Amino acid sequence: MPSQDTLTIRDNRTDKDYEIEIVDGAIRALDLRKVKVAEDDFGLMSYDPAFTNTASCRSEITMIDGERGILRHRGYPIEQLATQSSYLEVAYLLIYGHLPNEKQLAEWEENITLHTMLHENTKKFMEGFHHDAHPMGVLVSTVAALSTFYPDAKDIHNEESRKLQTYRLIAKMPTIAAYAYRHRRGLPYVYPDNGLSYTGNLMSMLFKMQRDKFVANPVLEKALDILFILHADHEQNCSANAMRSIGSSHADPYVATAGAAAALYGPLHGGANEAVLKMLREIGSKKNVPKFIKDVKEGKGRLMGFGHRVYKNYDPRAKIIRDTAEQVFEVTGRNPLIDLAMEVERIALEDDYFVKRKLYPNVDFYSGIIYEAMGFHSRAFTVLFAIPRTSGWIAQWQEMLTEEGQRIARPRQVYLGSEPRNYVPLGKRG
Ligand code: SDX
Q: Write out pLDDT tens, residues 31-59.
A: 999 999 999 999 999 999 999 999 999 99
Is a pLDDT exceeding 80 seen at residue 1? no
Whether ligand 1 lies within 6 angstroms of the CB of 224 is answered as no
Is a pLDDT exceeding 80 seen at residue 215? yes
Percent with pLDDT over 90 in the chain: 93
pLDDT tens digits, one per residue of 307-319: 999 998 889 999 9
Percent with pLDDT over 70 in the chain: 99
Is a pLDDT exceeding 70 seen at residue 372? yes
64 Cα nearest atom in ligand 1: 4
- Residue 362 alpha carbon to ligand 1 centre in Å: 9
Q: Residue 3 has what pLDDT?
A: 66
**pTM for this entry:** 0.95
Per-residue HEC secondary structure of 206-274 comes to HHCCCCCCCCCCHHHHHHHHHHHHHCCCCCCCHHHHHHHHHHCCCCCHHHHHHHHHHHHCCCCCCCHHH
Whether ligand 1 lies within 6 angstroms of the CB of 391 is answered as no
Does residue 250 carry a catalytic annotation? no
Q: Residue 291 has what pLDDT?
A: 95
Q: Residue 244 has what pLDDT?
A: 98
50 Cα nearest atom in ligand 1: 33
Whether ligand 1 lies within 6 angstroms of the CB of 361 is answered as no
Whether ligand 1 lies within 6 angstroms of the CB of 221 is answered as no
CA neighbor of 136 nearest in space, from 371, 382, 368, 304: 382
Whether ligand 1 lies within 6 angstroms of the CB of 303 is answered as yes
- Residue 59 alpha carbon to ligand 1 centre in Å: 23
pLDDT band for position 126 (50/70/90)? very high
Does residue 231 carry a catalytic annotation? no
Output 405-414 pairs: Cβ under 8 A, ≥24 positions apart: 406/248, 407/248, 408/248, 408/249, 408/250, 409/56, 409/244, 409/245, 409/248, 409/249, 412/45, 414/45, 414/47
List the catalytic residue out of 134, 231, 234, 308: 308
pLDDT band for position 4 (50/70/90)? confident
Substitution candidate for ligand 1 out of 268, 293, 297, 315 with most atoms within 8 A of CB: 268
Whether ligand 1 lies within 6 angstroms of the CB of 180 is answered as no
Is a pLDDT exceeding 90 seen at residue 104? yes
- Residue 303 alpha carbon to ligand 1 centre in Å: 9
Q: Residue 2 has what pLDDT?
A: 63
Q: What are the start-end ranges of the H helices in 9-158?
A: 78-84, 87-96, 102-113, 120-127, 135-149
Q: Is 416 helix (H, G, I), strand (E, B) or coil?
A: coil
**Backbone φ and ψ of 247, nearest 5°:** -65, -25
Whether ligand 1 lies within 6 angstroms of the CB of 377 is answered as no
Q: Is 21 helix (H, G, I), strand (E, B) or coil?
A: strand
Instruction: Please report, as a single letter, which amino acid is at residue 354.
Output: F
Residues in the chain: 430
Does residue 364 carry a catalytic annotation? yes
Whether ligand 1 lies within 6 angstroms of the CB of 145 is answered as no
- Residue 310 alpha carbon to ligand 1 centre in Å: 9
CA neighbor of 387 nearest in space, from 241, 201, 242: 201
**Backbone φ and ψ of 77, nearest 5°:** -60, 140
Q: What is the mean pLDDT of residues 116-123?
A: 95
Whether ligand 1 lies within 6 angstroms of the CB of 306 is answered as yes
233 Cα nearest atom in ligand 1: 8
d(CA 379, CA 132): 10
pLDDT tens digits, one per residue of 216-249: 999 999 999 999 999 999 999 999 999 999 999 9
> ∠ at Cα 235 (231, 241), nearest 5°?
105
Sheet containing 70-73, strands listed edge to edge, beginning at the edge strand earlier in sequence: 62-65, 70-73, 76-77
Q: Residue 76 has what pLDDT?
A: 98
Substitution candidate for ligand 1 out of 94, 230, 276, 306 with most atoms within 8 A of CB: 306
CA 370 remoteness from chain centre: 19
Is a pLDDT exceeding 90 seen at residue 213? no
315 Cα nearest atom in ligand 1: 10
In the chain the domains, ranked by start, together with CATH numbers, are: 62-266+391-402 (1.10.580.10), 272-373 (1.10.230.10)
Average pLDDT, the chain: 95
List the catalytic residue out of 155, 269, 351, 377: 269
Instruction: Please report, as a single letter, which amino acid is at residue 53.
Output: N
Whether ligand 1 lies within 6 angstroms of the CB of 382 is answered as no
As a whole number of angstroms, the longest Cα–Cα distance in the chain is 81
